[in-house]
Amino acid sequence: MSKNVLILPGDGIGPEIVEQAKRVLELVNEQYSLGLEFTEALVGGAAIDADGIPLPEATLDAAKKADAILLGAVGGPKWDAIPDFQIRPEKGLLGIRSNLGLFGNLRPAILYPQLAHASSLKPEIVSGLDILIVRELTGGIYFGQPRGVRVKEGGVREGYNTYVYDENEIRRIGRVAFEAARQRGKKLCSVDKANVLEVTVLWREIMDDLAKEYPDVELSHMYVDNAAMQLVRAPKQFDVMVTGNMFGDILSDAAAMLTGSIGMLPSASLDVNGKGMYEPCHGSAPDIAGQGKANPLATILSVAMMLRYSLNEGDTADKIEAAVSQVLDQNLRTVDIMSDGMTVVTTAQMGDAVVAALKG
């Protein structure tokens, strides 16, 4: 039976990197007779331009029907000036995540050995780095109610958001993280701010409770400020990290630089059944859009995650990851991961190289 992959290029560098990832997906589809069919839809700023809203009904319907979704990135200065926050491009992305229940966000920060000199840290501190950040994606302060901007007495405006998690949401993401840790290095660090925020006191309590079901996994807790510092001091102390929506957003961007560039960090956002949306962790990078400078590897590696987690094609995922490694062995680098003695290539040339490596 055929499976449908919905492609959402989005804005800025989104279409450029998705084009390369799509070539890779189309190639493996043909090579290994995966039976994938592709549809494309608008999201974010591109959807605002066409339909006036960041998540048109047709896009949400297509997302619900798809077996898996590949997204580029959304947002950019063209839409930043829109006064109504409800039609910011990012609402399209958050709308898909929440409507599809994609609560489990996996963000693997892996240093390819070839990129040891592109990392922000010294090679000896990062060599062999392989961390998985498990970020809760459909709750927390991103979605908590009430939220808004109100006028206080005296006419002073105040903005407010609500940081809320119920125990089921915490347990659900905790299980994803404990299961991942069980499959990996058997070490899980839960990141919170339990010295200040009640919601994370509950988070810590639930994680401790879950730990009783996973005696083979060593659970530790860390405050988020320390976790940010430890990530850039001694990142290899971590195996799996689990945290809430906003802390996970911030920590995963920090972890990205340990791997050489945010252009190397893929992600999977999964629902309870393993259906998922796959996207690079970075944004639409308006500063380099349209210049052929964007690194497409995070998006190509997101395709590998799609094959592994949603399409039951783990062997093909391995082949894509091996092809990425091979291309790095050939010393090809986009600008963001460039270092001495390497050859700089464009977004499309990097795509060409991965396609050629897969063809063998």
Ligand X SMILES: CC(C)[C@H](C(=O)O)[C@@H](O)C(=O)O
How far apart are the C-alpha atoms of 110 and 126, rounded to whole Å?
Answer: 10
How far apart are the C-alpha atoms of 121 and 123, rounded to whole Å?
Answer: 6
Considering only 28, 217, 262, 327, the residue that binds ligand NAD (CB under 6 A) is: 262
Instruction: Return the closest-CA partner of residue 285 out of 7, 17, 59.
Output: 17
Which residue type occupies 97? R
String marking each residue 86-125 x if it binds ligand X according to CB under 6 A: ----x--xx-------------------------------
Q: Which is nearer to ligand X, 130 or 253 (CB)?
A: 253
Q: Does 292 bind ligand NAD (CB under 6 A)?
A: no
Q: Which is nearer to ligand X, 125 or 250 (CB)?
A: 250
Min dist CB 329 to ligand NAD, Å, is: 20
How far apart are the C-alpha atoms of 180 and 54, rounded to whole Å?
Answer: 33
Query: Choosing among ligand X, Mg ion, ligand NAD, none, which partner's interface includes residue 94 (Cβ < 5 to 8 Å by kind)?
Result: ligand X
How far apart are the C-alpha atoms of 328 and 312, rounded to whole Å?
Answer: 26
Q: Which is nearer to ligand NAD, 137 or 199 (CB)?
A: 137
How far apart are the C-alpha atoms of 63 and 11, rounded to whole Å?
Answer: 18
Report whether 314 contacts 304 (CB < 8 A): no
- The one catalytic residue among 11, 112, 142, 336: 142
Residues making up the binding site: 97, 107, 135, 225, 249, 253, 283-295
* Sign of the Cα pseudo-torsion (338, 322, 289, 102, in order): negative
Query: Choosing among ligand NAD, Mg ion, ligand X, none, which partner's interface includes residue 169 (Cβ < 5 to 8 Å by kind)?
Result: none
Angle CA(352)–CA(356)–CA(360) in degrees, nearest 5?
170
- Contact positions toward ligand NAD, by CB under 6 A? 13, 17, 73-76, 90, 93, 261-263, 279, 282-288, 294-295, 298, 336
The residues annotated with a catalytic role in the active site are: 142, 193, 225, 249, 253
